[in-house]
Structure 1
Amino acid sequence: MTEILKDKLEIGKLKLDNNLFMAPMAGITDRAFREIVSELGSGLNFTEMVSAKGLYYKDKKTKTLMDKGDETLLFIQIFGSDPDIMASIVKDYLNSDDRFQGIDINMGCPAPKIVKNGDGSALMRNLELARRVIDKVVSASEKPVSVKFRLGWDEDNINYLELGKICEELGVSFVTLHPRTRNAFYSGEADWDAIKKLKNYLSIPVIGNGDVYKPKDIDDMFSKTNCDGILLARGALENPYLFSRMEKPDIVTMIKLIKLHLNLKCEYLGERVAVTQMRKHIAWYLKGFRNSKELKNKINTVDKKELVEEVLDEYLSSI
């Protein structure tokens, strides 16, 4: 295990117990899931993406993304491209909201519905506008501000070093790099060399993200990039025990985790919504286990919590 894994990362006045973080993932990292990864050691969580305009115009659905449970430190991740609106929500809402210990600006989301409005990774095509957004948010915020971004828009427009330097100059507390272009979405290999270059280029902490699925990947990213922390994403969906730097545990342990997650979901969202939303999580948790496809298919046919638990118990008794 590399030496940096033993260190506790400090972000401004915040002292983090673990430099492995849970990535913000739309439709996935809700309150229930964040409680799960917090229990397993995540040092910092982020909300799902929250629209700055949604907050500004008091959209009720937007506010449901801001619930906090029994979890570790939490940053709210906001997206938008209007500097004045971004600054306004920070001053009027986020500074006084003690659920959030910091604010993360999303400049990396590749989704068409986000970039068509000039938000997310579209800001990497307009660094002057990105600069104004960052400047306004940092100036308005009484809390640490971070920025998450990609390599650039496409292979012909790689500008992550320039954006990183803008962040540093404007007082951003740390940056997170997902080392793929917007046009690559989530395909191909993450360019860990870019994380190393960014780390060497900046004096503020750099968090690496991309292609971390096993404890060995954690060690490798730290040793190869010298990054200050790692943002876990798809790897943590299949194995949340990564935050404890553990391999995926046995099926009995995973089914206990499924039941815990399911019950939290039911408590926060109601049974009907919770059972439906848990199907994708159950598929990830069961990946790699014997007869998991058949088990997932059965679970997808039931719509009650107790029926999901019965299917899981029947599977356990059969192995």
Structure 2
Amino acid sequence: MASSLTIGDVTVPGRVLMAPMTGITDLPFRRVASSLGAPYVATEMVASAELARGRPDVVRRAAVGDGLPLTVIQLVGRDPEAMAEGARMAERAGADLIDLNFGCPAKEVTGSASGSALMRVPDLACRIMEAVVGAVSRPVTVKMRLGWDDTDRNAATLARRAEQIGVQAVTVHGRTRKQFYTGKADWQAVGEVKDAVSIPVVVNGDVLTLQDARDALEQSGADALMLGRGVYGRPWLAARLEAGLNGDTGPDAPDRADRLTLVIDHMQASLDFYGYPLGLKMFRKHLGWYIEQAPWPADPADRRAAKARLCRMDDPEAVARSLSELWTA
């Protein structure tokens, strides 16, 4: 497996990417993951119309900063001109890549004819791609699903049209929208998209381990893979899988001392970014996942109890003290 991925004029220094995830891949998380070797971590999904209107929480989701190997801003919406304006704003903000969301299955997104609902109206999806590609000089990519449901698996057709429009890469989650996250991602079906286009194809869905990564790439023939929920509590996973795919043992998961430092630094970064108390509130999901993924305490019931207790705390210093006691006992 090659050690980089070329998307237009951008070289991604690795082929294990991290997906855009609402409420997860904010700027503090992207910095943490990047510091641990992740070569590509996209922003949260950014609503283009609200970005253009300057809604503060949406602008914050598109935040860029130092310490990132790449800035990838993902946009969602249904209006071509609003998506184009969002892309222009992303480019002015310093985006290296602009990703379009045609894959989100959430009802609040598809209900407004955005996300994976665009796969039901491919002509509108193409107008959006044309508007965005024509609006910016940065490479444009698309993240999609296999289709809306099993009666209309149109990912290969839409990807082919995307390539003709000038999109530089596509990521395909190996499920339909109707599946949401049930069943198993169909990596072989992603191979149909790979066969249909000459631009890079990234396989996404259910990659949690090195063996998953190998199987997903082998079955799909994809050029790279994208991690999603597998990074919860494991922001080092991209670097470990990258190394493993290249025949190296890769960095070990952090030990107690390093993990404690990582978690406290992540909490402080969240507080610095959002302020208190919002920063602690936004961090709690990560704190819970860090505790779940740690092998200490050995008893899972003790870990669950510790998670419940620490995630109710309102004092960041108390959280840090309690976590230190938990992991050094």
Please tell me the TM-score bracket, short chain as reference. over 0.9
Question: Counterpart in 2 of 1:150?
Answer: 145
Cα offset, 1:301, TM superposition: 2.5
Question: Counterpart in 2 of 1:172?
Answer: 167
SS at match of 1:207: strand
Question: Counterpart in 2 of 1:292?
Answer: 303
TM-score (norm 1): 0.93
Cα offset, 1:215, TM superposition: 2.2
Question: Counterpart in 2 of 1:106?
Answer: 101
How many residue pairs were aligned? Answer: 312
Deviates more, 1:119-128 or 1:233-242: 233-242
Question: Counterpart in 1 of 2:60?
Answer: 64
Query: Does the CA-based 8 Å contact 2:17-2:227 persist in structure 1?
Result: yes
Query: Does the CA-based 8 Å contact 2:146-2:190 persist in structure 1?
Result: no
Question: Counterpart in 2 of 1:125?
Answer: 120
Cα offset, 1:259, TM superposition: 1.2
Cα offset, 1:247, TM superposition: 6.0
Segments of 4+ in structure 1 off by > 6 A? none
Which amino acid is 1:39 matched to? Answer: S
Equivalents in 2 of 1:226, 1:181: separation in Å? Answer: 19
Determine if the alignment matches structure 1 residue 302 to structure 2 residue 325: no
Question: Counterpart in 1 of 2:326?
Answer: 315
Select the residue among 22, 25, 30 that pairs with 1:26.
22
Query: Does the CA-based 8 Å contact 2:17-2:41 persist in structure 1?
Result: yes
Equivalents in 1 of 2:273, 2:91: separation in Å? Answer: 25
Which amino acid is 1:256 matched to? Answer: T
Structure 2: tracts of 5 or more residues without a match: 241-250
Q: Percent identity?
A: 35
Query: Does the CA-based 8 Å contact 2:292-2:307 persist in structure 1?
Result: no
Select the residue among 265, 275, 285 that pairs with 1:280.
285
SS at match of 2:105: coil
SS at match of 2:78: coil
Query: Does the CA-based 8 Å contact 2:38-2:236 persist in structure 1?
Result: no
Cα offset, 1:295, TM superposition: 1.4
Select the residue among 186, 192, 196 that pairs with 1:191.
186
Query: Does the CA-based 8 Å contact 1:214-1:247 persist in structure 2?
Result: no
Determine if the alignment matches structure 1 residue 228 to structure 2 residue 239: no
Query: Does the CA-based 8 Å contact 2:287-2:311 persist in structure 1?
Result: no
Question: Counterpart in 1 of 2:268?
Answer: 263
Equivalents in 1 of 2:292, 2:252: separation in Å? Answer: 13
Select the residue among 73, 76, 79 that pairs with 1:79.
76
Equivalents in 2 of 1:316, 1:147: separation in Å? Answer: 41
Which amino acid is 2:271 matched to? Answer: C
The Cα offsets for residues 243-295 of structure 1, whole Å up to 9 and x where unpaired, read as 22156444443322211211111111123122222221122122253221121
Which amino acid is 1:90 matched to? Answer: A
Question: Are the structure 2 counterparts of residues 129 and 154 from structure 1 closer, same or farther at C-alpha, using a change threshold of 3 Å?
Answer: same
Equivalents in 1 of 2:55, 2:228: separation in Å? Answer: 27
Cα offset, 1:26, TM superposition: 0.5
Question: Counterpart in 1 of 2:246?
Answer: none
Cα offset, 1:172, TM superposition: 0.4
Cα offset, 1:9, TM superposition: 1.1
Question: Counterpart in 2 of 1:253?
Answer: 258
Equivalents in 1 of 2:258, 2:63: separation in Å? Answer: 27
Equivalents in 2 of 1:88, 1:120: separation in Å? Answer: 18
The Cα offsets for residues 50-90 of structure 1, whole Å up to 9 and x where unpaired, read as 11111232323221112123212011111111112222333
Cα offset, 1:223, TM superposition: 2.6
TM-score (norm 2): 0.90
Structure 1: tracts of 5 or more residues without a match: none
